[in-house]
Structure 1
Amino acid sequence: MKLLFFAATLAFLPISSYFFTEKYIWSGNSIYAAITAICAANLVLVAYIILSLMEDKQSFKEADEKKLPDSKKQR
């Protein structure tokens, strides 16, 4: 579900931010609007990477908690 959400966001956010900022913020300057769209796309990618790393760290922590303590015979 997270991957689908970020894929949809990556498809929608840069395009919509380009047209919105070109019309209302940058008054027709397409270069600044393109830079805004690039920044929006990079923000989505960074958010996905951070979320993935946090989720991976949590799964490693859960795996460590499930390990049984070593006995003297197993060492």
Structure 2
Amino acid sequence: NEPYAAAKDSHAIVVCTEWDEFIKLDYELIYSTMQKPSYIFDGRLILDHDQLMSIGFNVFCIGKKPPKNQFLTQSPL
């Protein structure tokens, strides 16, 4: 339960490992407990970004240039 407790009431998650445990988490549950807007920063490119965006996450790949229409400055944070 530690990953779920760590994400609760946060705005962002940073994944900086390629461990399978992070691929298999219930991101719908995680999203439901987070503050909105919710962000995931994927530092290893291991997550299913399309699935995460369909849940409602704003997904960013660390170390890659974002698409032209996706900028952190659009966030109210």
TM-score, normalised to structure 2, is 0.21
More strand by share: 2
More helix by share: 1
TM-score, normalised to structure 1, is 0.21
